């Protein structure tokens, strides 16, 4: 036994530490019983629990229900969102706990999407790491920081499959693939919630936006989605089911019409799928104002109709529209909604508050806050996350990594080169972000005084149509100022001159934060605002150029892919962006990110995804006709693609048997070797194809992946299991999940174009 713990006083201290500090619920006052509480509640108090009140002034809300604080005082409130000032949280919580009749605490919710104080890379970047453990660790830190600041509910993870880069919210999710999406969903739920509900360093997670939001027509945000049932089950619902299996506490309904029925009033989604088929017992919150928006959709006649349509579809909590507060009690009095239905909706909300330990610990300990966000290990993890999520798209003649002993001067150029807030993306900037290291600063930190670094901004970039969010007070990200043509020309010329007089240029182009995210759809994926011209002029200087992309979605970089020797995709990489990017640029970290989306050549190819079905005239046929006549049909970079400073070879793919019975497990192994001279990580991916069946099956589907670290010359044999979970699909003919006795192909390799092939047959 450790002698320190054997002394009586240290034993007592250890006991205190483990039982009191690590398991706060042990010393807390007993929580009330949810049923007992429910029995004491009036109808109005119950409806208040079904309501989430906006923490910023919304005139429509005020019009519907009056002053938010009066509601809290009189009836309590289920939740409040968009408040992150701990003082304000405590003030409102005191009203609920001290002044409302039943003293039920408020659940404070916020979009803690990829960090609270320490901002991690945006979700699409985290997915590019193909490292779910990393995502879990990052969300553990996000949860700890948020909870210390009084936030106990996050509206994350965002699980929308996104197959159209024109849709701005691609940045918020794990990309196009349900298998990768499911892995990232499980990891994030585990990170946010942990295994011990009630730990005071965890938060309740929310699987959003249920479901089909990423398939918006034309990639236009909020537009209708038309998704056949088989695609819902096989693709769009998969990450949500994974989150549910991982124990996610809440769901959020999506904004858009799904097959003509808005998701917020869609009983098939909220009841048939979620409750009947999946046996979900938590609660569902709407998206912001979405209950009231049922009127705008042309689905509800008025507020009363909206309330009853959403509620009877299975929508428990109304986010910020006040529609339930205004109309639901009348519906009960008129007998259109029963008290049992109300109770069934309120119960999981009370239970969530109890599980979170909110009754015992309703207030923020303001004195404790600074300790949590300033933990140095959080910044270290954020930096490692940047290194692990960057995707090297091109590296001709091994231009990267840069060797600071060989370079005398570097030009760091571009409208995002000195950006800070923009590197956090929209949500990252909205919480309580700490300082951000710009790319310019990261490079300066890296080269110290040994290499001269010269900065030029180039012309400003702006959206053609400004973002609605620019005027939202809690969002500090802004457009870059409008310039006169003369100012823009001067900035352009300065940038090109800067490139000319330095040895190497790091050119940072892409999208400011407001160009991606909610309400940020685009018809073109081209580099906007003169950035393409700047790129071409800088390349024309003849100096070596590294293009560093900062953006929330794939952009049209077809020209760059032919003319720029090195291209590094960095997405929005958070607080440690500059340091992590410089680590990769100068070879202190070896990039191993792989694309979680197929990278299009142009926006005309969208929607674009690798797991499409084969046509009668497939791409490998000599008379391939189902293609564009003015552009390739293939992506610029396939799903799963990413380069390294070393090289890997894949060989000896082995399927353990040629025949297996339906229901059994087929084992696949493959050798991966680091054939270069640097240590690096390989991301081995396994793809599956069912050759025939009750329905046409995609050309290939990701069914396994592993990220492994390999020393130069090292070989590892990786093993994958293909069991019923991997082999099944939802058959539109049988209307059920089915594993079919058919011939299957497998491919293993570094991306979705992998050639190394094996096969097996499933028998009845
Ligand atoms: C977004 C959600 C978000 C909510 C609350 C909505 O506009 O669609 O993703 O959780 O606002 O901020």
C-alpha 604 chain-centroid distance: 25
Higher pLDDT pick, 475 / 719: 719
Give the nearest ligand 1 atom to 82 CA: 12
The pLDDT tens digits for 317-349 are 999 999 999 999 999 999 999 999 999 999 999
Give the nearest ligand 1 atom to 155 CA: 10
Which pLDDT does position 620 carry in this prediction?
79
Residues with CB under 6 A from ligand 1: 81, 111, 155, 208, 287-288, 518
**Using CA positions, which residue lies closest to atom 2 of ligand 1?**
287
Give the nearest ligand 1 atom to 172 CA: 9
Residue entry with tokens 């009127």: 295
Which pLDDT does position 30 carry in this prediction?
54
Find the 162 Cα to ligand 1 centroid distance in Å: 17
> Rounded distance, CA 495 to CA 500, Å?
9
For the entire predicted model, the pTM comes to: 0.95
Find the 168 Cα to ligand 1 centroid distance in Å: 14
Which one from 111, 131, 160, 287 is the annotated catalytic residue? 287
> Rounded distance, CA 357 to CA 194, Å?
14
The preferred substitution site among 52, 83, 155, 162 for testing ligand 1, maximizing ligand atoms within 8 Å of CB, is: 155
Find the 716 Cα to ligand 1 centroid distance in Å: 44
pLDDT > 90: percent of the chain: 88
- Alpha-helix runs per DSSP H in 284-438: 293-296, 303-313, 323-333, 339-355, 376-389, 425-430
**Using CA positions, which residue lies closest to atom 11 of ligand 1?**
288
Give the nearest ligand 1 atom to 158 CA: 9
* Average pLDDT value for residue range 145-160: 97
The pLDDT tens digits for 259-313 are 999 999 999 999 999 999 999 999 999 999 999 999 999 999 999 999 999 999 9
SS3 of residue 432 by DSSP: coil
Find the 181 Cα to ligand 1 centroid distance in Å: 20
Give the nearest ligand 1 atom to 208 CA: 9
Active site residue 287: yes
Strands (DSSP E) found in 143-189: 153-154
The pair of three-digit structure tokens given for residue 26, joined into one six-digit string: 């042990």
By the 10 Å C-beta count (0-12 exposed, 13-18 middle, 19+ buried), 369 is classed as middle
The pLDDT tens digits for 176-234 are 999 999 999 999 999 999 998 789 999 999 999 999 999 999 999 999 999 999 999 99
**Using CA positions, which residue lies closest to atom 12 of ligand 1?**
111
Quick check: 762 and 662 in contact, CB under 8 A? yes
Quick check: 740 and 717 in contact, CB under 8 A? no
**Using CA positions, which residue lies closest to atom 5 of ligand 1?**
288
Find the 111 Cα to ligand 1 centroid distance in Å: 7
Q: Which of 439, 453, 363 is nearest to 407 (CA)?
A: 453
Find the 53 Cα to ligand 1 centroid distance in Å: 13
**Using CA positions, which residue lies closest to atom 8 of ligand 1?**
287
Give the nearest ligand 1 atom to 156 CA: 10
Crossing angle of the two packed helices 376-389 and 577-585, in degrees rounded to 10: 50
What are the residues whose beta carbons fall under 8 Å from the beta carbon of 335, sequence distance 6 or more?
A: none
The preferred substitution site among 84, 287, 318, 521 for testing ligand 1, maximizing ligand atoms within 8 Å of CB, is: 287
Statement: residue 29 has pLDDT above 60: no
Give the nearest ligand 1 atom to 255 CA: 8
Which pLDDT does position 14 carry in this prediction?
37
Find the 457 Cα to ligand 1 centroid distance in Å: 32
The pLDDT tens digits for 39-73 are 999 999 999 999 999 998 888 888 889 999 999 99
Give the nearest ligand 1 atom to 320 CA: 5
The preferred substitution site among 55, 288, 472 for testing ligand 1, maximizing ligand atoms within 8 Å of CB, is: 288
The pLDDT tens digits for 605-620 are 999 999 999 988 887 7
Find the 355 Cα to ligand 1 centroid distance in Å: 24
**Using CA positions, which residue lies closest to atom 10 of ligand 1?**
155
Average pLDDT, the chain: 94
Which pLDDT does position 18 carry in this prediction?
33
The preferred substitution site among 82, 110, 111 for testing ligand 1, maximizing ligand atoms within 8 Å of CB, is: 111
Give the nearest ligand 1 atom to 110 CA: 12
In what side-by-side order are the strands of the sheet with 545-550? 391-395, 566-569, 545-550, 504-510, 409-413, 452-456
Find the 289 Cα to ligand 1 centroid distance in Å: 9
Find the 427 Cα to ligand 1 centroid distance in Å: 10
Give the DSSP H or E segment for 446. helix 439-447
**Confidence band of 2 (pLDDT split at 50, 70, 90):** very low
The preferred substitution site among 289, 518, 521 for testing ligand 1, maximizing ligand atoms within 8 Å of CB, is: 518
Find the 288 Cα to ligand 1 centroid distance in Å: 6
Statement: residue 24 has pLDDT above 60: no
Q: Which of 379, 376, 390, 381 is nearest to 126 (CA)?
A: 390
> Rounded distance, CA 742 to CA 114, Å?
42
Statement: residue 625 has pLDDT above 90: no
pLDDT > 70: percent of the chain: 96
Which pLDDT does position 369 carry in this prediction?
78
**Using CA positions, which residue lies closest to atom 4 of ligand 1?**
288
Which pLDDT does position 633 carry in this prediction?
87
Statement: residue 623 has pLDDT above 90: no
**Using CA positions, which residue lies closest to atom 7 of ligand 1?**
288
Most distant CA atoms of the chain, gap in Å = 83
Q: Which residues are registered as beta bridge partners of 287?
A: none
Find the 287 Cα to ligand 1 centroid distance in Å: 6
The pLDDT tens digits for 663-722 are 999 999 999 999 999 999 999 999 999 999 999 999 999 999 999 999 999 999 999 999
Find the 518 Cα to ligand 1 centroid distance in Å: 8
Other CB atoms within 10 Å distance of the CB of residue 228: 10
């Amino acid at each position: 036994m450790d002698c320190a713990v054997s002394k009586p006083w240290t034993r007592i201290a250890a006991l205190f530490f483990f039982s009191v500090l690590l398991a706060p619920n042990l010393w807390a006052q007993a929580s009330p019983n949810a049923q007992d509480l429910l029995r004491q509640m009036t109808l109005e108090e119950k409806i208040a629990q079904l309501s989430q009140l906006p923490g910023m002034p919304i005139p429509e809300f005020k019009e519907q229900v009056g002053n938010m604080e009066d509601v809290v005082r009189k009836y309590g409130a289920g939740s409040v969102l968009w408040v992150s000032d701990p003082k304000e949280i405590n003030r409102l919580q005191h009203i609920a706990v001290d002044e409302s009749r039943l003293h039920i605490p408020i659940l404070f919710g916020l979009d803690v999407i990829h960090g609270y104080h320490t901002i991690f890379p945006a979700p699409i970047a985290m997915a590019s790491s193909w490292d779910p453990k990393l995502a879990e660790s990052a969300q553990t830190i996000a949860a700890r920081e948020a909870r210390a600041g009084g936030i106990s509910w996050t509206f994350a993870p965002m699980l929308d499959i996104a197959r159209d880069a024109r849709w701005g919210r691609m940045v918020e999710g794990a990309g196009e693939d349900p298998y990768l999406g499911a892995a990232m969903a499980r990891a994030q739920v585990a990170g946010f919630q942990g295994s011990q509900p009630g730990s005071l360093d965890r938060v309740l997670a929310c699987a959003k936006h249920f479901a089909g939001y990423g398939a918006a027509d034309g990639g236009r945000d909020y537009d209708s989605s038309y998704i056949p049932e088989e695609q819902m089950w096989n693709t769009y619902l998969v990450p949500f089911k994974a989150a549910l299996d991982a124990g996610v506490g809440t769901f959020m309904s999506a904004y858009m019409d799904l097959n003509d029925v808005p998701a917020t009033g869609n009983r098939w989604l909220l009841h048939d799928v979620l409750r009947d088929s999946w046996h979900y017992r938590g609660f569902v919150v709407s998206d912001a104002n979405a209950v009231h928006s049922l009127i705008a959709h042309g689905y509800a006649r008025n507020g009363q109709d909206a309330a009853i349509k959403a509620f009877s579809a299975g929508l428990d909590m109304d986010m910020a529209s006040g529609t339930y507060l205004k109309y639901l009690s009348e519906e009960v009095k008129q007998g259109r909604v029963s008290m049992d239905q109300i109770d069934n909706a309120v119960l999981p909300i009370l239970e969530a508050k109890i599980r979170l330990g909110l009754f015992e610990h309703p207030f923020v300990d303001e004195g404790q806050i600074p300790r949590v966000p300033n933990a140095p290990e959080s910044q270290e993890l954020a930096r490692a996350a940047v290194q692990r999520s960057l995707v090297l798209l091109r590296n001709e003649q091994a231009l990267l990594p840069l060797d600071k002993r060989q370079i005398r001067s570097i030009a760091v150029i571009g409208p995002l080169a000195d950006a800070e807030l923009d590197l956090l993306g929209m949500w990252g900037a909205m919480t309580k972000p700490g300082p951000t290291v710009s790319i310019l600063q990261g490079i300066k930190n890296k080269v110290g005084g040994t290499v001269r670094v010269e900065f030029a901004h180039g012309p400003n970039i702006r959206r053609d149509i400004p973002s609605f969010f620019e005027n939202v007070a809690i969002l500090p990200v802004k457009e870059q100022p409008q310039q006169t043509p003369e100012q823009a020309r001067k900035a352009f010329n300065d940038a090109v001159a800067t490139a000319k007089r330095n040895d190497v240029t790091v050119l940072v182009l892409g999208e400011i934060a407001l160009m991606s995210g909610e309400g940020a759809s685009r018809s073109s994926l081209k580099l906007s605002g003169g950035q393409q011209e700047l790129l071409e002029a800088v390349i024309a200087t003849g100096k070596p150029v590294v293009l560093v992309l900062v953006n929330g979605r794939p952009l049209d970089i077809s020209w760059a892919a032919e003319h720029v020797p090195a291209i590094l995709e960095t997405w929005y990489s958070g607080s440690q962006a500059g340091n992590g990017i410089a680590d990769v640029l100068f070879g202190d970290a070896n990039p191993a990110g792989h694309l979680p989306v197929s990278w299009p050549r142009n926006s005309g190819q969208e929607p674009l995804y690798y797991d499409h079905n084969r046509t009668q005239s497939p791409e490998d046929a000599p008379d391939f006709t189902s293609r564009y006549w003015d552009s390739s049909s293939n992506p610029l970079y396939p799903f799963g693609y990413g380069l390294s400073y070393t090289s890997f070879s894949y060989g000896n793919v082995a399927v353990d048997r040629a025949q297996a019975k339906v229901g059994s497990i087929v084992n696949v192994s493959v050798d991966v070797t680091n054939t270069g001279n640097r240590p690096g990580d390989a991301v081995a991916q396994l793809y599956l194809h069912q050759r025939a069946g009750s329905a046409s099956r995609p050309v290939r589907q990701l069914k396994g992946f592993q990220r492994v670290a390999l020393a130069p010359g090292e070989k590892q044999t990786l093993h994958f299991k293909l069991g019923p979970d991997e082999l099944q699909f939802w058959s539109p003919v049988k209307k059920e999940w089915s594993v079919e006795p058919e011939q299957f192909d497998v491919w293993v390799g570094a991306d979705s174009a992998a050639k190394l092939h094996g096969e097996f047959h499933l028998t009845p």
